[in-house]
Amino acid sequence: MKLAGKRIAILAENMYQEMELWVPYFRLKEEGADVKVVGAGGATSYASKHGYPVAVDVQADQVRA
């Protein structure tokens, strides 16, 4: 668990590409990172190019580095 205790944000927006979001998401989780999906707008979920939804954990204006 190389990333245990690390916090990582993945930005999501409408028409996201599934492989660009889900592959890093699950690989980072496998390594122990605390991964949050951050919404770029005000929506609680976004649809991918193929219609697959992703729920956001927090909005971009609510996070800090």
pLDDT tens for the chain, residues 1 to 65: 899 999 999 999 999 999 999 999 999 999 999 999 999 988 999 999 999 999 999 999 999 87
56 burial level (CB within 10 Å; 0-12, 13-18, 19+): buried
* Token pair belonging to 9: 């944000």
Task: Specify the pTM.
Answer: 0.90
Among candidates 4, 10, 6, 41, which has minimal Cα distance to 23? 10
Residue 8 CB coordination number (10 Å): 14
Give ∠ CA 6-55-14 in degrees, rounded to 5.
Answer: 105
